[in-house]
Amino acid sequence: MAQRTMSGHLTRPGAGFSRRAFMIGLGATAAAAGSTALTSCATAGGGSADGDDKTLNIMLASWVDPAFIEDVMQKSAAAPLGAKINLMTVDDGSYPAQALAAQKSGKTPDLIFWTAQGIPTLLATGVKLADLSDYVESEDTSAFYEQNYQASTIGDKIFGLGFRCQSRGIVYRQDYVDDAGLTVPDAWTFDEFGKFAGELRDGKRFGFAYEAKVGDGRASSNVLPMLWSTGGAVVKGEAGAFATGFTKKQIVTTLSFYGDAVHKWKSAPSDVANWGYQETDGSFAKGALSCYSAGPFVFQQVQQYTDTFENLAVAPLPNAGTQTSFWEEHTLMVHEDSPRRDLALKFLENMRSVETQTLIASREGDAQLSVRPDVNATGVKNPVLKGFGELLSDAVVPEPVNIAPIMNDVLLPAIDSVALGAADVDAAADTVMSGMEATLAQLNEG
C-alpha cells in the first residue's frame, strides 16, 4: 500500500454558492449587545488606547496566545510601522454582542481578530466592517490560497483577510499503527478507514472516536467534511431562502460512517454520543485513543504527553467519493469607523507578508499554517504540520449559514441515535430531512 503524499486539487462542493451580507436567525445576539460590557484592555508594547495615531486597537478573543500577540503581531507586524497594539479582549461566546457594544459606546476597535466564519454573524449583529475589496486589488492574489478570499467574501464584498489557517485530518499514533502491522494510504474510503481503525482497538484503547455531544463547538468541522465528501452541501440557495443541500442518500452515507464506527468496525465506544472535544483531545493525548479527526491544535493538546507527541502523525480524512477537509481561518477585519484605517491596512499587509507568514508557519506551540501556499511548502519544517498544510488544497470553506441549530437540533441528534442504536440509519436520515426543513424554515424567517 502506498505511503501518504496527500497531494490534490481544490474541491469545493456547492462552488456556485454565493456568500451574502446577512446571516439569518441572530436577533437574540443583537438584542443582547446593548447590555454587554467589554473586559479590561491591555497594551502590548506600551502606549495608550486612545488619542495615539500610532496605537492600533485590536479586538480579539481571550483564547489568543499572548506569545503570538507579542512575537508575531507586535514585533513582526506593528513594530516596523512604529505602531503599538492595544488589546480589547472579549469572551468568544459573546463576541458579536461585545463588538457592537464597543461600537455603540465609541470605543471602536481599529481591527477585529476572529474567525472568518464569524463575519456573517458580526454583520448581522450590526457591527460595521469595512469592505476590503479595493485593498485586495493591490495584492498578488495568486500568492494566497483561493479559500483565503472565499472565506471572507459576502456577496461581492470582502470583509476580512486571513493571516493563519488550518485544515482537518486524521491524527494518529504511529507506534500503534506500526505495532498493528498497518500502513496508511494516500486516500481511503469510509470502509477502508473503518477497518483500519477497528484493528487499532484493543483492551487498553479505542481505535477511533468523534465529537457527537450536542453543543460541542468542534463537531461541525469534523462532520461537515464527511457530508461534503458525498458530494452534498449543508445548504443551497441564498440567505432567507436556504434549502437543504444534500439528498437522503448522501445523509444515509454520512450517518452510516458514524454508526459503523460503533457497530460494524467496533472502533468507537457506544457512549461516543456523549463525547465532546474534551474527551477526544484528552483520550488521544493520554494514549487511550488511537486516532481522531483534528487540526494543528492537536500540538497544544499533546505537548505534555511525550509518547503521543513523539509518535504524532496525520493522514487525510476518509471520504465517500470526494476528498475534502475543513478550511478554518483566523481573520483580521477593519472596522468601518476606524480613525486609523490606513495604519490598520499597513498592519494587515505586514501580517500577510512573506516574512510574518514564515514566522507564523514556524511556530509549534500555537501551531497554525500560512495563508500563502509557498510558505507552507518551504517554511514548514515539522512533518505533521507540513502534512496538515498538504491537506489545505482540498479544504472547503463552510457555507455562510448559522450552523449551530443545524448541528444541535438536526445532525448531532441523528448521529447520536445511530451510535446508540436507538434508530436505524434509514429512519435517522428521514428525521434529518424533516428536521432540516423545519430548522431552515426558522432560519429563513429570521
Instruction: Give residue for cell 460541542.
Output: 216
Could you give phi then psi for residue 262, rounded to 5 degrees? -90, -50
Same domain membership, residue 220 and residue 108:
no
Q: Considering Cα of 410, then 412, then 415, then 420, what sign does the dihedral take?
A: negative
pLDDT given at position 44: 53
How large is the average pLDDT for residues 262-282?
A: 95
Same domain membership, residue 162 and residue 182:
no
| Distance between CA atoms of residues 165 and 368, nearest Å | 6
Same domain membership, residue 346 and residue 224:
no
Radius of gyration of the chain, Cα coordinates, nearest whole angstrom:
22
Q: Which amino acid is at 40?
A: S
* C-alpha cell of residue 196: 483500519
Same domain membership, residue 130 and residue 118:
yes
Pairing assessment for the beta strands 325-326 and 395-396 based on DSSP bridges: parallel
Residue 238 exposure: Cα atoms within 13 Å on the Cβ side: 7
| pLDDT, tens only, 168-178 | 999 999 999 99
Residue ending a domain, choose from 361, 380, 396: 396
Which spans in 88-244 are helix H?
95-104, 119-125, 133-137, 146-150, 174-179, 190-199, 219-228
Calculate the alpha carbon distances from 45 to 48, 49, 69, 77, 93 in Å. 10, 12, 10, 12, 27
| Distance between CA atoms of residues 16 and 43, nearest Å | 43
| Distance between CA atoms of residues 370 and 378, nearest Å | 11
In a domain, 197, yes or no: yes
Name the residue range of residue 278's domain.
169-325+402-445
Q: Which amino acid is at 389?
A: G
Same domain membership, residue 155 and residue 61:
yes
In a domain, 152, yes or no: yes
Asked which of 15-24, 155-164, 205-214, 329-338 is least confident by mean pLDDT, the reply is 15-24
More confident residue, 34 or 198: 198
Same domain membership, residue 75 and residue 134:
yes
In a domain, 181, yes or no: yes
Q: How many domains does the chain have?
A: 2
Pairing assessment for the beta strands 153-154 and 235-236 based on DSSP bridges: unpaired
Q: Does the pLDDT at position 70 exceed 60?
A: yes
- CATH number of the domain bearing residue 49: 3.40.190.10
Contact of 61 with 92, CB cutoff 8 Å: yes
| Distance between CA atoms of residues 118 and 116, nearest Å | 5
Same domain membership, residue 103 and residue 60:
yes
Could you give phi then psi for residue 154, rounded to 5 degrees? -120, 110
Same domain membership, residue 282 and residue 429:
yes
| pLDDT, tens only, 324-362 | 999 999 999 999 999 999 999 999 999 999 999 999 998
| Distance between CA atoms of residues 26 and 317, nearest Å | 32
